[in-house]
């Protein structure tokens, strides 16, 4: 079964990890900008974006993966010095063929500075198409900030079906989908354990009546992640009798509909 891993941080992963993703049937990945280091100036951050869309995409292809990129500014990645160049360049960067989303973004503290950074990027994504968005909440305020970000997104006029709210847990998946957003479920060591995720997803699919607007990813990065998170979840879903069509939506079809076939609405 083909896999579209909708959120990894490939630039801090080894070639061996990426090759293993390919070996275990991952066909496509979205590598997201994050905060791999402190950026002093706007040009430092823009150079990092350029590396993701050029050298990193080439490396992913060498590892057997079809690369897609999300570009965005998390709070920790905001350059220390004034950075108006980032906001001038970002609308154009989002139009590159490799770039399928704005992300990762997220308000990680309930402060004016974090919301200003978040809202500025949402407005750019909305005006650019809209372009899909990948939102990551802070682990320690996951529920509170997920709901607050969804409220801000709706207030700013961003279509909820164009937004992946990522790294959700059992408290959030169903409500995020019912609110019209796409629920990103990260599976692996530091996220939901595959069998736990499978049981939870089976219950959610049964209550909602479909597997629409739910996307699995590994959130692969250095350290406490599991390269086999998605394949293990697929096996667990099969073991408890979830139908193949629903599993295919979770691991491939829904991500394709959101990020690649943007002219097609999610089913």
What's the whole-model pTM score? 0.95
For residues 204 and 207, what is the distance between their CA atoms, to the nearest angstrom?
5
Distances in whole angstroms, Cα of residue 255 to Cα of each of 95, 229, 244: 19, 17, 16
pLDDT band at 267 (very low <50, low <70, confident <90, very high): very low
Written as six digits, the tokens of 115 are 């919301």
Nearest to 9 by CA among 140, 136, 124, 96: 136
Q: Which value, to the nearest 10 degrees, does the dihedral of the CA atoms of residues 53, 55, 61, 66 take?
A: -10
| % pLDDT > 90, the chain | 92
pLDDT at 224 over 70: no
Edge-first strand listing for the sheet containing 3-8: 3-8, 26-32, 66-71, 99-105, 133-135, 163-165, 182-186, 214-217
Q: State residue 34's pLDDT score.
A: 96
pLDDT at 71 over 70: yes
Residue spans of the domains in the chain: they are 3-260
pLDDT, mean of residues 137-152: 96
pLDDT band at 221 (very low <50, low <70, confident <90, very high): confident
Q: Which CATH superfamily is domain 3-260 in?
A: Metal-dependent hydrolases (3.20.20.140)
User: 56, 31 in Cβ contact below 8 A?
Assistant: yes
């Amino acid at each position: 079964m083909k896999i579209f891993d909708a959120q990894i941080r490939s630039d801090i992963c080894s070639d061996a990890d990426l090759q293993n993703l390919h070996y275990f049937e991952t066909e496509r990945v979205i590598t997201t900008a994050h905060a791999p280091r402190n950026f002093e100036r706007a040009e430092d951050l823009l150079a990092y974006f350029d590396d993701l869309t050029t050298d990193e995409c080439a490396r992913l292809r060498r590892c057997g993966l079809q690369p897609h990129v999300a570009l965005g500014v998390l709070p920790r990645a905001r350059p220390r010095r004034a950075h108006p160049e980032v906001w001038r360049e970002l609308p154009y960067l989002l139009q590159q063929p490799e770039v399928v989303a704005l992300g990762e973004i997220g308000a990680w503290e309930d402060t004016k500075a974090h919301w200003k950074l978040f809202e500025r990027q949402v407005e750019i994504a909305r005006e650019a198409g809209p372009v899909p968005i990948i939102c990551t909440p802070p682990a320690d305020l996951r529920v509170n900030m997920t709901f607050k970000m969804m409220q801000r997104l709706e207030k700013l006029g961003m279509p909820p079906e164009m937004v992946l709210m990522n790294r959700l847990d059992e408290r959030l998946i169903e409500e995020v989908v019912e609110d019209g957003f796409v629920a990103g479920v990260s599976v692996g060591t530091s996220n939901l354990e595959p069998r736990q995720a499978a049981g939870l997803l089976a219950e959610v699919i049964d209550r909602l009546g479909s597997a629409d607007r739910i996307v699995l990813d590994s959130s692969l990065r250095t350290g406490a992640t599991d390269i086999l998170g998605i394949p293990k979840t697929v096996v667990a879903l099969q073991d408890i009798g979830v139908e193949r069509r629903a599993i295919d939506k979770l691991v491939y079809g829904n991500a394709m509909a959101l990020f690649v076939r943007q002219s097609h609405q999610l089913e």
